[in-house]
Chains A and B, each alone.
Chain A
């Protein structure tokens, strides 16, 4: 999974309006992949967008709720067989996502479960006061 073909990195405010910047970064990433001849099929694209949106919302709404000046780093990359999103934020530690079950009515916590169901790997780590999220979606053949 080394040697990304395409990569886009962005920072956005850890506030609800910062989610606009995340979606702009995702748009730029998929456009860059297309221009590099490494287009991402729609099914993989919407899966990563959905998962990334949930993680970003979780960071904004929970981890950084008390840190209005905080910034979130997002790094998007396209490898030969996968697409990946990494997030870093200075917010409070987040617990591991719960079990795979998704309740029929959304409530606190469903976002992380949804994210997990959209990707092939969802990793979380806490190092030196920073939360690290890594989402990997293996790209499917058309």
Chain B
């Protein structure tokens, strides 16, 4: 998994992720997201265009990021989720709390 961060304002940022979010990478993702929130980036957008696969471990890491962001008064949104990601979000019913946005720009609306 590769992860890059782009700041969009004082507390908003886009996390661009490439690779698979699974057993092997979930802990790193959780740690990075919680670290960003700790640094003050409480309004995050996860750009998932480069993510081919997510399993329940990856979902858990994203939920941990969402929880940390909300505790800090922000939010964590996802954008450009592919078919497998949308499928697992739907099956797990997590699309109720992690609503997929079609584009990063749409996900950023209302953040600043």
Contact = CB atoms under 8 A, between A and B. Distances in A.
B96 A104 contact: yes
Interface string B62-100: 010000000000000000000110011001111011000
A57 interface: yes
B50 interface: no
- Mostly helix, strand, loop or mixed at chain B's interface? helix
Interface residues of B, number: 22
Chain A interface extent, by class? 20 to 34
A105 interface: yes
Interface string B45-64: 00000001101110110010
A106 B23 contact: no
Contacts of B96: 104
A16 interface: yes
A106 B53 contact: no
Given A23-B53, A42-B83, A53-B53, A118 B91 contact: yes
Interface string A43-65: 10011011001100100110000
Contact of A111 (B55, B83, B84, B94): B55
B24 interface: yes
Interface of B: 20, 22-24, 52-53, 55-57, 59-60, 63, 83-84, 87-88, 91-94, 96-97
10 residue pairs, one from A and one from B, having the closest CB atoms: A106-B60, A16-B24, A46-B84, A111-B56, A46-B87, A57-B23, A53-B55, A106-B56, A117-B91, A110-B56
